[in-house]
Amino acid sequence: MVEVEEVAAVHNVLGESPIWSPRERVLYWVDAEGHRFFRFAPDTGDLRTIELGQFIGCLALHERGGLILALASGITYWNDDQFKHLLSREQLGTTNRFNDGAVDRAGRFWIGTASDEPDNSLYRINLDATFQTMETGIIISNGIAFSPDNTTMYYSDSGGSGIVYAYDFDLETSTISHRRTFLPPTGTAAVADGLTVDSEGFLWIAFWDGWRIERRAPDGRLIHKIDMPVQCPTSCMFGGPDLTELYITSASRDVDRNEQPQAGNLFRIRTDVKGLPEPETTLGFSVK
């Protein structure tokens, strides 16, 4: 039986976007609706909370150190409490809030928006802060991950009944094509949320309102189902010194905290498979 370990009792309203930094040996993640993000060092147990006072959709690692943050005010570079504004939502042509995002292995930042209507998009932001709209008609743009060989991009739309798509992906041109359904709606309240890919090319998916994490083969077959002690796990990311520890964020929004006292906390699962290091971006800086 897989042991699900609670590692930080932070009671996030909407925990999201876990990212492991191999350079710092720390895990970052956000409380989107709590308007803060966290830095956790497993080696020492040190936990730092950074309050920002606005919605945080996601974060990503930057090659110069620091982070790219998708805030209510726009895409921003942050390092030691210093900020550099890069792009606003209005520049991208939307007033909808930013949600989940990811960096591809060429360093480009992919970010989507979310609302209650199918009027959201997925954007690719290039290293010079120019951008392209890559997908439209999305409700809640969510988890993004790339296969180890850079030929497939996975992308979840958590709105409505929820679906995970797969695309052909070209790393050199940074284009996506041939959208197909990787994982159809569950037919229950459970909706695919954040996700990540391991070194074997298998997908790990957190299911909002589903009490579980699933590992899926590249052909969609269910390999493992891991029961969680919380109703709304939100995302997952491999970390630890050898990338065999799966960190899982969760939410306490819309759940009974008396019945689920661990809702919103950070969890860890030790696995027998390695993850992949998350790419860093140089977005916003023409000189590395």
pLDDT in tens, 209-247: 999 999 999 999 999 999 999 999 999 999 999 999 999
CATH number at residue 26: 2.120.10.30
Per-residue model confidence (pLDDT) at position 80:
86
The answer to whether residue 42 sits within a structural domain is yes
Per-residue model confidence (pLDDT) at position 260:
94
Which of 47-56, 117-126, 225-234, 279-288 bottoms out in mean pLDDT, i.e. has the lowest? 279-288
Q: How far apart are the first and last CA of the chain?
A: 45
**pLDDT tens string 82-140:** 899 999 999 999 999 999 999 999 999 999 999 999 999 999 999 999 999 999 999 99
Per-residue model confidence (pLDDT) at position 287:
47
The answer to whether residue 43 sits within a structural domain is yes
242 annotated active-site: no
Band of the pLDDT at 286, cuts 50, 70, 90? low
Q: How many domains does the chain have?
A: 1
Neighbours of 161 (CB within 10 A): 14
Task: Tell me which residue range forms the domain holding 81.
Answer: 4-270
The mean pLDDT value of the chain amounts to 95
The answer to whether residue 89 sits within a structural domain is yes
In angstroms, the CA 263 to CA 231 distance is 7
Beta-ladder partners of 280: none
Question: What proportion of the chain, given as a percentage, has pLDDT over 90?
Answer: 93
The answer to whether residue 282 sits within a structural domain is no
Band of the pLDDT at 288, cuts 50, 70, 90? very low
Question: What proportion of the chain, given as a percentage, has pLDDT over 70?
Answer: 99
Per-residue model confidence (pLDDT) at position 266:
98
Exposure string for 182-214, b = 16+ CB within 10 A, e = fewer: bbeebeeebbbbbbbbbeeebbbbbbbbbbebb
The answer to whether residue 279 sits within a structural domain is no
Output the CA–CA distances (angstroms, integers) from residue 252 to 188, 208, 248, 260, 277, in the order listed.
20, 11, 14, 8, 28
Catalytic residue (one of 31, 100, 157, 193)? 193
Q: Order the strands of the 36-41 sheet from edge to edge.
A: 15-21, 26-31, 36-41, 46-51
In angstroms, the CA 164 to CA 195 distance is 10
81 pLDDT exceeds 90? no
The answer to whether residue 34 sits within a structural domain is yes
CB 250 within 8 A of CB 267: yes
In angstroms, the CA 117 to CA 104 distance is 27
Backbone dihedral region for residue 137 (phi beyond 0: left; psi -120 to 50: alpha; all else: beta): left
Query: Residues 271-287: what's their mean pLDDT?
Result: 90
The answer to whether residue 140 sits within a structural domain is yes
Model pTM greater than 0.85? yes
Going by C-beta distance under 8 Å and a sequence separation of 6 or more, which residues neighbour residue 182?
154, 164, 165, 166, 203, 216, 220
Amino acid at 131: F
Per-residue model confidence (pLDDT) at position 254:
84
